[in-house]
Structures are given as C-alpha cells and as structure tokens.
Amino acid sequence: MDQDPFDQLQVTTHGMANGGEAVARAADGRVVFVEGALPDERVTVAITAEKKRFLRAKAVEILDASPSRVDPPCPHVADGCGGCGLQYATPEAQRQLRLGMVRDALQRLGRIPDPLVELGPELPTDGYRTAMRAAVQGGRAGFRVAQSHDVVVVGSCLVSHPLVEEILVDGRFGAAHEVSIRVGVGTGERMVVVRPNAAEVTVRADVLVVGADQLAQKRAWIHEEVAGRRWRVGADSFFQTRPDGAEALVVEVGRAAGDPTGLRAIDAYGGVGLMSTALLGAERITLVERSASAVADARVNLADLPVKAIRVAVERWHPSNADLVVADPSRAGLGKAGVDVLASTGASRFVLVSCDAGALGRDAGLLVEAGYRLERSVLVDLFPHTPRVEVVSTFTR
C-alpha cells in the first residue's frame, strides 16, 4: 500500500455490487467495495487493494448495523470460509439484495430504464446443494477463504445436501487438490471426481469414485429425477445444483416461452436437455451444445422426444430459422457472438437464462440492439446465502 492514510477508514455503504460486496465512497471520491458489509451501514474497513479508480476493503467493525444484519448461522464463516458470502443478512434481505443486483445490472449495463424484475418461488435456504466443488488440504475437503488460496477444512456445511455433506466431511481424498461431489436426490446415487487422480481416496461404499485422469477413457455418471423425468448426468456434464431449483427453472422457462405448439424452437447451450422439456409440443426442437459429454447425455435423456441434439459451439453454429429461442449460457453469458447467431434465427421470442447479473445486463443490451424488447426478468433463487443469481428473462421482437 503506497498511501498509509488509506490503510483503514470509516465509510457509509449505499448499495451492493454484483459480487456481493457493499459499495461506498472514500473521501477522495473513489468507489470502495467492502467485503462483509451490507447497504446502509457505517463501518470501519481495512483496505486490501488500491487502484486508481477504486479501493477494495474488508469490514473490520460494524459501527451502525443494518436492521437486516444477523449472526451467520454457519460457524465456518468465522473461520474465513468464502463459500457463502451473504450469511450475515436475513434470507429475505438476501433475496431483495439479489433482486437489486439484477435490476441495477439491467439499468446500468443494459441501459434499460425501468426493467420489470420479479421474485420467483422461495426455495429452502439450507441443505440444498447437490453438486459442490471443494478444495483439498491434507486429504480433507474444505473451501477457500474469499480472495485467497487458503483452505478452511469444514466439519459441516449449511448449504450442502446431507448426501453431499457426508462425503464432504467424512471423505478422505489422499494427495488430491480438488474434489467435485454430485448426488442424485431422487435416486440416491453419488459420485466424486477427484483431481488429479483418485489414489488413496476413502468414501462410503455407495459412492462412485473417478479420477480426473480417467475421464478421457472412462464415462461415468449418476441419475437425478426432475420434472417427472429421469436424467443421466455425466461427470463432465453440467446440471443445476439443486433439483427443486432445476424444476423451478423449467416451470419459469415454460411460462416465459408461452405455448410452443407447432413452433420451431432452439434450446441453445442445452446441456443434458433439461430446458427442452419446457418446449414440448413444438414442431421441432433443436438442442445446440458444445460439450460432448452433455450431448451424449441429452441424446439418452430425450430419446423419446422429438429433439435433435447437435454438438457444436453456439457461436459456430449455422443457425436455422426458428420461432422461439431458449438460451442457458455459462456465467460469461451470450456475448456479441452468441447474440448475433441466435438473433439471426429470426425468432420473435427469446428466453434467456442467466447465472450472473453482470452478464445478464450486457446480454440484455445486446439483445435490445438486435431488435428485442425486455418484457420481464424473474429471479429464481437457486443460491441462498450467496450473491449468485439465476434469472429467467423474456424478450420479444
């Protein structure tokens, strides 16, 4: 730090940034992003990084607390675990904060003056995660400290499903540096993928253990039950981190899509095929996905449905004409290349599933430039206790 006066200071916060940090202003006018604070609090902060236009800081003392502040329910927050960045706010306050992040991103990045943003169904806040990636230290699983490579080994996890928590706490993972845990609540199946290999791994006998070094030669998967269907999910395939949230997404995407009967529909970034089930009745459904593992799963999962799964990156796909597009990209969003390709289908209705508020704001602006209008966005609250969002947005031409 090159300026001692900025080592510690008092600020009053006035908002929440996309990553879950409160926003304040220093005396010199620079924005201060404060870890561990809520909006409308007066706090003493320690500066952790100084840039020309902004500062990053960590709250060290809450001088005037928000009415929404609570003691974090998980003891590992005090140990520095960075897995859940909003446990110090009530669940309802968290929902409002995430809603505000989405609205701000649409206004500031998407330049949409008065976006309609609504809360979706309220989902359980504890014991919900059925997929989780953890760091390994000394053979034990844990989570990294925020903005650090340090690992907090955990003896419990507030947000993990019991079938996950048992592996997380009791598993021993040898010399590995990372483990991914995935379970199927509807089937009871469990799997861990250990990086770099599965040497000296000890877990319960019912857990399928796969080394990352084996995945090039060995296919491995579990099954989950969502929306009345059984889903094969490969070790290299993406699936939502909670089945009730996956079902809520399918319902909301179906509402946003409207009646697909007789339409030509595109399921872009279609993964293992979950969103295609919201489009049943369409004359034709084309699923576009770059992951070989996910496309193989989708072809199994949707074998009884009129869905054609194509393995190609959306940005390199030569689009066919369509009436309706559903797109569920990664956290980076569609970007200009994705918007250009999907808009060129001529679809009059576009349903976008976003898992990052900033990406949603940028994509919304690009879709508006391509001739679409945002009707509404619905926050499907898949990640309680964190600043992460999942949003279903409806655009029409």
| Shared domain check, 163 and 14 | no
Q: What are phi and psi of 96, to 5 degrees?
A: -65, -35
| Shared domain check, 172 and 110 | no
- Determine the average pLDDT of the residues in 359-366: 98
Residue 277 token pair = 């089930």
- Determine the average pLDDT of the residues in 25-40: 93
| Shared domain check, 255 and 114 | yes
Q: Comparing C-alpha atoms, which of 213, 219, 125, 130 is closest to residue 176?
A: 213
| Shared domain check, 345 and 377 | yes
Q: What region does 115 belong to: left with phi over 0, alpha with psi -120 to 50, or beta? A: beta
What total number of domains does the chain contain? Answer: 3
Q: What is the CATH number of the domain that holds 32?
A: 2.40.50.140
| 237 belongs to a structural domain | no
Q: Is 355 in the active site?
A: yes
Structural domain range at position 168: 131-226
| Shared domain check, 161 and 216 | yes
| Shared domain check, 27 and 115 | no
DSSP annotation string for 173-210? ETT-SEEEEEE-TTT--EEEEEES--TTEE--TTEEEE
| 22 belongs to a structural domain | yes
| 262 belongs to a structural domain | yes
| Shared domain check, 153 and 109 | no
| 72 belongs to a structural domain | no
Tens-digit pLDDT profile for residues 226-269: 999 999 999 999 999 999 999 999 999 999 999 999 999 999 99
Summary mean pLDDT of the chain = 95
- In terms of Cβ atoms closer than 10 Å to its own Cβ (0-12, 13-18, 19+), residue 235 is buried
| 373 belongs to a structural domain | yes
What number of CA atoms fall less than 13 Å from residue 131's CA on the CB side? Answer: 22
Looking at the chain, the whole-number percentage of residues with pLDDT higher than 70 is 98
What's the pLDDT band for 6 if we cut at 50, 70, 90? low
Tens-digit pLDDT profile for residues 40-94: 999 999 999 999 899 999 999 999 999 999 999 999 999 999 889 899 999 999 9
Last residue in a domain, options 193, 226, 259: 226
| Shared domain check, 156 and 269 | no
| 79 belongs to a structural domain | no
Place of tokens 């004409």: 321
Secondary element (H or E) of residue 369: helix 357-369
Say how far apart CA 177 and CA 321 lie, in whole Å.
Answer: 46
| Shared domain check, 343 and 197 | no
| Shared domain check, 359 and 250 | yes
| 254 belongs to a structural domain | yes
Residue 16 token pair = 């929440």
| Shared domain check, 214 and 155 | yes
| 76 belongs to a structural domain | no
| Shared domain check, 290 and 202 | no
The residue annotated as part of the active site, out of 74, 81, 84, 355, is 355
Q: What is the CATH number of the domain that holds 347?
A: 3.40.50.150
